[in-house]
Structure 1
């Protein structure tokens, strides 16, 4: 299986965040912020304001000459039958969720391994979301599925109304291809479920007053037995109200089932417990260590800081293994399975029945390894890759020795590889959606304000000359230990590179390109370093003649929206265009909006004067000024984003307009934090992005 972080610590772009009601603002807050009314997501007045802003923006951007051809090409790409159908290994089948022009909401379907190897495999439909939505008169959006191994006959299907994180969960029988009457079912909420066995689920949800943390996550982990009313589920663990969350889950392996509980007091911190019978035993690990899983009765742990035990120190970002029974009996004699270096960091950790799989980042380029255990000795082999791009373990299972990985880089279409019987074969490849002739990729470095070298990738189009005249788009994220790595983007290629644009990807601090230390270098009081790094890359693009201020644009979403928001308010002279997607912007109130309180370990607590002292220096909403000439920013968000509140973007736009700073604004009424619920919406929104960029930068 592809092991997820067992604490369920969820970065803004990658996973479910649980919302709480927006607290009533005090009179002082209302006096300080005249746009608090825009935080009322579905209020008549705010929605009328949104409609007015949308109309003005769409009239302009849809008229840009590049919009229609980019929009049409986006839809061709997103709905292409030549896309790689990514799969999950469940029992004897490979499952895939597929959307195209004929299946707008999507198909959950399956096939066999032998059939999947074919160029045009035959698929069996398990659930047709378009038919289901029509039959139930619901705006269903697929949000995934959790199945009970090894057979994966029993599953909990998650369906969202409009694409938000809140979902309805229902038990589904994959053999009958139908929902189970009187099976497990959860009403719409931001719930967590995991199978323990055929007749019991681990569950965390909103049970009423006191059942959620201040971050909006479940505070209790419960065991739900079949036939028992949801309200009567057994409480296994109860965290604190000020925690981020508490959750319980099972890891199913060939050696047996492990029941675990995780309390997460803050992002990247937690307490791990194993359930032995009816007893919870706390695992004696550093609070910031990450329990990566269990394999062959070995406990796998990665470190976010150095860990000294006796006279031995295990280094930050190392992956450690120890026999679980020996650990519970007091041993701390870990084996080091991966040891980092300055520019090499740990990536994914996954398992099959008999193999432990690792990816690493070597100067932001991927490498892949397979480890096996025999008589307490680990052996290790590197799996060769086609080039120096990104590798991802895409599917594996604890019940099988087959697994899949993908490879991609900026100019090479993605390929999918199958490993079976210890042999690797390419089984799928994406077609070349754009002509790469004459394009070049380079890895360069910029020098940040404090002297730190910041790497970035630069992709230049055919005929490029470093004369400062090329339109250039700089993308970044810089948060939550998420690395920005090379990948083939057909939309960036066709909408930007093929038309003559330059693309740059910044590997700034706050991300995970060089492990935990790179992330920790831009936390809280040091958050400004992420912004300085990004600005340094922009300055380097101008200084080296790649582009000029008149042709330089920046783009980022979620935490990346905060990044570009802080960058253009600090250096409005450097950027001509800004695409600010589903952003955080009002850092004075972010911890009061939806799941914002769970991110205070990243940004700081604005209610603490010592933290607000540094947050206020870069919070975009508080730092936009009336007498400064800003670029005309394009803000884009979603009404149904119940992770990062749309009020961030709404209020920023309202404030800038009140200061006579023209902006563009588009708010999709569906889509959740992804900003789009289906391929049609994705194709449209990204066409708006690139139409804006060409209008501003050509």
Structure 2
């Protein structure tokens, strides 16, 4: 029961050592009774949309002014930004996609805010610019999101993302002329874009238009699949599939390789548990039918060959396997499922059909390994990779042996390679030239024991010859949720940290997919505390090994990882010198009330169910700030247009930090404008954000910063 909604006149101002002073934040007497416990929520008004509520807008302005005033006092901030600009300034390519003899790919010359889409006619053709999103907005915050060429390569569907929002506007481009067509599709979100094989139109998923003032906060329900015919208005789009009796279902739709089937996967949350619905596109009057009923298992389309449809699944295979259905007699197809590539000892991370092969990517202790199989599942060896790291891509189709992939590691930027399944040859397509020597860095993988004895992998990266006797300033990163594995990858910002003499560590804690279902299940719902224990144990291991000390250890996490940082700081504030929670889920009792939050119950549980409430209440960052203990320095980052994890999470958390008696170190908010959860963020905003975070963390870990301001 809601006890009070009115605003009180009480305010709190906490002043630290000059010149830093926190802005006053109004406290209210809002509280609710939940399962016999009174839950105070004094800063609920900060959940209001900053675009709509002038009080929230004024609070954001005041917080940014206080934060900037503090950051301006940090020596070396300008030097860090300058070096970040140098490290970011290298040519970057996306993985090419082939269609109708055309090769489509993105390229960034270095410091462009957004990558540009190019096309070549033939592999060795002259590159031609198709789309330059840098021309769309003065601040560079309007991005080219998803893009898909038609099978014949004559048209291209692309999505526009403005200011970091998850909403998409889909448009169509004539590849030959480079001119956009009049077609415009609005209110698409969490959608695949899939072309009909005759190029007549696209399948996509959308929600209804939100009510005014609720665009960035309303729950996302009743997603529907539509077909848009090129040259017609969106109002004429044909509804293909919807489940009004099950409004929580999401639907993504993709056309099979041969164009004969529309494969619709329906899910309710973030778990990879799908119902499979198929539509026979060869029959104009065909109706969708259920191939796999029930939200029990993962089903990822791999490819089609004649009447055979192949999928990745975890049905009876916690580490996943490949299976095939015979679609010759659709009503009986479900009973024809048979194994093609059985479960291995490592987690299957993806698979594609290319030429006469199936390429299957595995996670082996969080590192990539790609194995090749015949279409019948016969093993044909491994794809040679450039080293230990992360390989992604390998898109293609049966009958064409050509595919492309990217490869990266902590000291190796994304490089693009071409792979021929007939010859087995790997050749470079685009290798970046960078302003550092990758050989100057050491990449180690270590294993440590968590609180319950679980063996957890962790990557530790630093400059060769680093003397960390007495401990080196160290940045520890993790995520720990939603079945998302954390892989070796390149980030210029992390390299800048290591150049200054810091150590970078990535802990592959439970909650991800590194070791299949068991690893995910071991870090969610009632087992969520394992995630925090794994992370705390990683910090303790780094200290015990002499790599760092508690007064030189900074921690960082994004989104679910931001929740991680907030939780472990509350549980072990003594272990860390500085914390960088980014776009975090901080109120675990109300997360399911905004935008995509309702999906997260698969990992977090339901706040309205008592058993789940007890677990969530115990670690919710906003509700467990421990007054009377000395906290590390905290710089919380979020964005005003984040409609994935609404910024109210971070706003309320920061207000509570600033009102608590947790020591004299700074507890600040950095709130970006016209930026969202991270996708589509322009390069200049990324550089500025990392410069601020690294200067802040360096200050409190003793990392030596570049000279200059």
Q: Which TM-score band (shorter chain)?
A: 0.7 to 0.9
In structure 2, the partner of 1:199 is 200
Note if contact 2:222-2:242 (Cα within 8 Å) is conserved in structure 1.
no
Report SS of the residue matched to 2:411: coil
Distance change in 2, residues 1:302/1:330 (3 Å): closer
Distance change in 2, residues 1:450/1:227 (3 Å): same
In structure 1, the partner of 2:396 is 396
Asked if 1:677 corresponds to 2:681, the answer is yes
Asked if 1:246 corresponds to 2:250, the answer is yes
Aligned equivalents of 2:57 and 2:679: distance in 1? 17
Report SS of the residue matched to 1:325: coil
TM-score (norm 1): 0.86
Aligned equivalents of 2:40 and 2:530: distance in 1? 28
Residue 336 of structure 1 and its aligned partner are, at CA, apart by 4.0
In structure 1, the partner of 2:314 is 304
Asked if 1:378 corresponds to 2:387, the answer is no
Asked if 1:266 corresponds to 2:265, the answer is no
Distance change in 2, residues 1:696/1:646 (3 Å): same
Residue 394 of structure 1 and its aligned partner are, at CA, apart by 5.4
Note if contact 1:291-1:300 (Cα within 8 Å) is conserved in structure 2.
no
Q: How many residues align?
A: 649
Residue 226 of structure 1 and its aligned partner are, at CA, apart by 5.2
Aligned equivalents of 1:444 and 1:248: distance in 2? 38
In structure 1, the partner of 2:460 is 458
In structure 2, the partner of 1:526 is 527
Residue 115 of structure 1 and its aligned partner are, at CA, apart by 3.0
Report SS of the residue matched to 1:642: coil
Aligned equivalents of 1:112 and 1:667: distance in 2? 44
5 Å-filtered alignment, 1:565-576, equals 565-576=566-577
Runs of at least 5 residues in structure 1 that lack an aligned partner in the other structure:
1-24, 117-121, 307-313
Give the alignment partner of residue 304 of structure 2, picking from 284, 295, 305: 295
Give the alignment partner of residue 348 of structure 2, picking from 332, 346, 349: 346
5 Å-filtered alignment, 1:505-654, equals 505-654=506-655
Residue 604 of structure 1 and its aligned partner are, at CA, apart by 0.5
1:112-148 deviation per Cα after TM superposition (whole angstroms, max 9, x unaligned): 45437xxxxx5211123344547xx996322222332
Residue 405 of structure 1 and its aligned partner are, at CA, apart by 1.7
Report SS of the residue matched to 1:51: helix
Residue 607 of structure 1 and its aligned partner are, at CA, apart by 1.4
1:517-554 deviation per Cα after TM superposition (whole angstroms, max 9, x unaligned): 21121121111111111111111111111111000111
Residue 71 of structure 1 and its aligned partner are, at CA, apart by 1.1
Note if contact 1:541-1:547 (Cα within 8 Å) is conserved in structure 2.
yes
1:33-66 deviation per Cα after TM superposition (whole angstroms, max 9, x unaligned): 1212211222222122112211222233244233
Give the alignment partner of residue 236 of structure 1, picking from 237, 240, 244: 240
**Root mean square deviation of aligned Cα:** 3.0
Distance change in 2, residues 1:285/1:34 (3 Å): same
In structure 2, the partner of 1:7 is none
1:303-338 deviation per Cα after TM superposition (whole angstroms, max 9, x unaligned): 3352xxxxxxx5652232343437834644512414
1:221-257 deviation per Cα after TM superposition (whole angstroms, max 9, x unaligned): 233445665445443332256654332523242x443
In structure 2, the partner of 1:54 is 64
Aligned equivalents of 1:217 and 1:400: distance in 2? 40
Note if contact 1:221-1:246 (Cα within 8 Å) is conserved in structure 2.
no
Aligned equivalents of 1:651 and 1:96: distance in 2? 41
Residue 634 of structure 1 and its aligned partner are, at CA, apart by 0.8
Aligned equivalents of 1:556 and 1:157: distance in 2? 30
Aligned equivalents of 2:140 and 2:249: distance in 1? 30
Asked if 1:408 corresponds to 2:400, the answer is no
In structure 2, the partner of 1:186 is 185
Give the alignment partner of residue 93 of structure 1, picking from 97, 102, 108: 102
Runs of at least 5 residues in structure 2 that lack an aligned partner in the other structure:
1-27, 34-38, 703-709
Larger mean Cα displacement after TM superposition, 279-288 or 354-363: 279-288
Report SS of the residue matched to 1:513: coil
Larger mean Cα displacement after TM superposition, 266-275 or 30-39: 30-39
In structure 1, the partner of 2:40 is 32
Report SS of the residue matched to 1:629: coil
Distance change in 2, residues 1:547/1:241 (3 Å): farther
5 Å-filtered alignment, 1:99-498, equals 99-100=108-109, 103-115=112-124, 122-133=126-137, 140-148=142-150, 150-181=151-182, 183=183, 185-188=184-187, 190=189, 192=191, 193-196=193-196, 197-207=198-208, 215-225=219-229, 230-231=234-235, 233-240=237-244, 243-247=247-251, 249-253=253-257, 255-267=258-270, 268-276=272-280, 277=283, 278-284=286-292, 287-293=295-301, 294-296=303-305, 297-304=307-314, 306=316, 316-325=319-328, 328-329=332-333, 331-332=335-336, 334-341=338-345, 344-373=346-375, 376=376, 378-393=378-393, 395-397=395-397, 400-420=400-420, 421-422=422-423, 423-435=425-437, 439-465=441-467, 467-493=469-495, 495-498=496-499
Report SS of the residue matched to 1:259: strand
Report SS of the residue matched to 2:90: coil
Report SS of the residue matched to 1:279: coil
In structure 2, the partner of 1:18 is none
Aligned equivalents of 2:540 and 2:45: distance in 1? 38
Aligned equivalents of 2:315 and 2:614: distance in 1? 27
